[in-house]
């Protein structure tokens, strides 16, 4: 679908809601991809574990 969620449980919850309202569709395989996005508006020195 291409929708971004804050966490994996939120995405899975949305899938269960969507399947309950669209009962005539069948989802066989569901892939949830976790993507880490860097927040650009932080000031100061980056943390050690923060990606560059």
In this predicted model, what pLDDT tens digit does every residue of 16-46 receive, in sequence order?
898 899 988 888 888 888 888 776 766 778 7
Please provide the DSSP assignment of 40-51 as one string: TT--SSPPTTS-
CA distance 38 to 52: 8
What pLDDT score was predicted for residue 52?
A: 66
DSSP 23: T
CA distance 49 to 25: 42
| Residue 1 confidence (pLDDT) above 60 | no
Residues 6+ apart with CB under 8 A from 4: 35
């Amino acid at each position: 679908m291409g929708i971004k969620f804050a966490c994996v449980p939120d995405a899975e919850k949305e899938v269960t809601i969507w399947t309950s309202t669209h009962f005539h569709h069948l989802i066989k395989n569901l892939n949830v991809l976790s993507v880490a996005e860097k927040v650009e508006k932080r000031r100061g020195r980056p943390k050690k574990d923060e990606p560059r």
